[in-house]
């Protein structure tokens, strides 16, 4: 009798584990194949002791995200306690608009926020962070599969009515996470993130709508009102200041597998260029980068491309276009995160003393890049 009971318990455990794994894979498949969509949601941050009545709401907000993922088109409308902003990208140009300031910036760059679940809480841009947390992170949901447990089933209220969801719970070194997953679609309709090592102790988002139809092209174009001014750079909340500060050191391998350390280049001007083969503004700028790298090679200037796509992709691309500048592999995106390269191309000009002298977001022409390098050399 005891053997039978134990066998039933083991079978139940295995069945539950298999169910959890299947749910995780359903989520990954859904988000990996997700292209056109529109979602509306709200969020809340909590701090001050989650295990007692001391928990205090430190901020609430709303957001709308529209995207055509395959063509890198994006429209985020974000309204939160520290920022109200709109980000629009048509796949080659990105506009960032601050309605309260009646100002916008336009750059030839596209968002590249990545899918690393351990880096979901960057603080440089709250609108892009929301995009990562609510959509992009779930393409890599299987990284958490071994930590996930099916806690229960529960209904979630949406604009279309109640939706039956699985509730998965998981723990990582930095947080405890709960996700409410639509049993029919595999989409995550609600999530709670309790952080164990950060000032914000809980972050919750809830979706009112999640439509998977392709948004119209008009959603990926920006036409400013007559009283809105164009500026060179916006004062974004929480934006990291790089200029005048030491460049973060790193070690990466080039596409031939040879390691390079940034600090070993002290005494030279270093130009870091974060780029990707799929990025139209990068493709526009790369011929200039390659030309300047060859021209300034004997003038104590080193160009380093930083790419996350893998050596074979870069080798094939560089061979086709006859690019000879050095490119380093950042497949785990650690250096991208260190330099907050959430839009590419991003270029950093680092002085011989290791201090960042110039930071560009978006493609630049030869005169502007050359002027920044010359200014760094004169210091």
- Tell me which residue has tokens 């999530």: 191
- Which residues form the domain of 329? 251-377
Please give the chain's pLDDT, 379 residues, in tens.
444 444 444 344 434 444 898 999 999 999 999 999 999 999 998 875 544 444 555 689 999 999 999 999 999 999 998 889 999 999 999 999 999 999 999 999 887 755 544 444 444 688 988 999 999 899 989 887 788 999 999 999 999 999 999 999 998 777 889 999 999 999 999 999 887 655 557 889 999 999 999 999 999 999 999 999 998 778 776 566 788 999 999 999 999 999 999 999 999 999 999 999 999 999 999 999 999 999 999 999 999 999 999 999 999 999 999 999 999 999 999 999 899 888 899 999 999 999 999 999 899 999 999 999 999 998 8
Q: Indicate whether 47 and 141 sit together in one domain.
A: yes
pLDDT tens-digit map of 83-100: 899 999 999 999 999 999
Tokens of 267: 């005494």
Whichever domain contains 121, its CATH number is: 2.50.20.10
91-to-13, 156, 216, 221, 281 alpha-carbon distances in Å: 46, 34, 14, 10, 9
Residue 303 phi, psi dihedral angles, 5° rounding? -105, 130
Nearest to 276 by CA among 207, 208, 327, 230: 327
CB-CB contact of 15 with 8 (8 Å): no
Q: CA 15 from chain center: how many Å?
A: 35
Same domain, residue pair 122 and 48 = yes
Determine phi and psi for 118, rounding to 5 degrees: -80, -10
Mark whether 176 and 266 lie in a shared domain: no
Residues 204 and 301 in one domain: no
The predicted pLDDT at position 198 comes to 53
Tell me: do 39 and 124 sit in the same domain: yes
Q: How many CB atoms lie within 10 A of CB 155?
A: 11
- Per-residue pLDDT reduced to its tens digit, 121-155: 444 688 988 999 999 899 989 887 788 999 999 99
Q: What is the pTM of this model?
A: 0.81
What's the pLDDT score for residue 275? 96
- Domain of residue 296, CATH code: 3.40.30.10
Per-residue model confidence (pLDDT) at position 374:
95
pLDDT tens figures, 43-83: 998 875 544 444 555 689 999 999 999 999 999 999 998 88
Claim to verify: residue 116 and residue 46 sit in the same structural domain: yes
Q: Rounded distance, CA 128 to CA 286, Å?
A: 25
Q: How many domains does the chain have?
A: 2
Examine residue 8 and state whether it is found in any structural domain, yes or no: no
Are residues 88 and 182 located together in one domain of the fold? yes
What does the chain come to in residues?
379
The per-residue pLDDT for 146 is: 81
In whole angstroms, give the CA distance from residue 202 to residue 229: 37
Asked, for residue 92, whether it belongs to a domain, the answer is yes
């Amino acid at each position: 009798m005891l053997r039978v009971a134990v066998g039933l318990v083991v079978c139940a455990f295995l069945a539950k584990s298999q169910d959890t794994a299947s749910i995780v894979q359903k989520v990954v498949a859904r988000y990996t194949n997700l292209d056109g969509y529109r979602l509306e949601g709200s969020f809340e941050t909590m701090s001050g002791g989650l295990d007692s009545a001391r928990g205090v709401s430190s901020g609430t907000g709303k957001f709308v995200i529209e995207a055509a993922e395959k063509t890198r088109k994006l429209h985020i409308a974000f309204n939160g306690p520290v920022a109200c902003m709109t980000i629009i990208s048509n796949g080659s140009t990105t506009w960032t608009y601050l309605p309260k300031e009646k100002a916008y910036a336009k750059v030839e760059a596209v968002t590249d926020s990545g899918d690393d679940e351990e880096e979901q809480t960057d603080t440089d841009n709250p609108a892009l962070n929301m995009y990562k947390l609510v959509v992009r992170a779930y393409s890599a949901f299987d990284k958490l599969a071994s930590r996930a447990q099916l806690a229960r089933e529960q209904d979630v209220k949406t604009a279309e009515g109640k939706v039956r969801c699985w509730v998965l719970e998981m723990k990582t070194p930095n947080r405890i996470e709960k996700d409410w997953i639509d049993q029919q679609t595999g989409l995550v309709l609600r999530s709670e993130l309790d952080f164990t090592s950060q000032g914000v102790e809980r972050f919750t988002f809830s979706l009112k709508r999640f439509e998977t139809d392709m948004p119209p092209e008009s959603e990926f174009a920006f036409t400013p009102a007559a009283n809105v001014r164009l500026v060179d750079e916006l004062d974004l909340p929480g934006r990291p200041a790089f200029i005048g500060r030491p460049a973060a050191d790193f070690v990466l391998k080039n596409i031939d597998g040879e390691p390079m350390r940034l600090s070993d280049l002290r005494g030279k001007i270093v130009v870091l260029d974060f780029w990707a083969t799929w990025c139209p503004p990068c493709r526009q700028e790369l011929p200039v980068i390659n030309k300047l790298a060859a021209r300034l090679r004997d003038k104590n200037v080193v160009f380093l491309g930083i790419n996350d796509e893998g050596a074979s992709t870069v080798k094939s691309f560089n061979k086709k276009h006859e690019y000879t500048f050095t490119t380093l592999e950042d497949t785990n995106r650690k250096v991208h995160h260190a330099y907050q390269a959430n839009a590419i191309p991003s270029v950093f000009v680092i002085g011989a003393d290791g201090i960042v002298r110039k930071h560009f977001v978006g493609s630049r022409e030869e005169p502007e890049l050359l002027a920044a390098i010359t200014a760094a050399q004169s210091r």
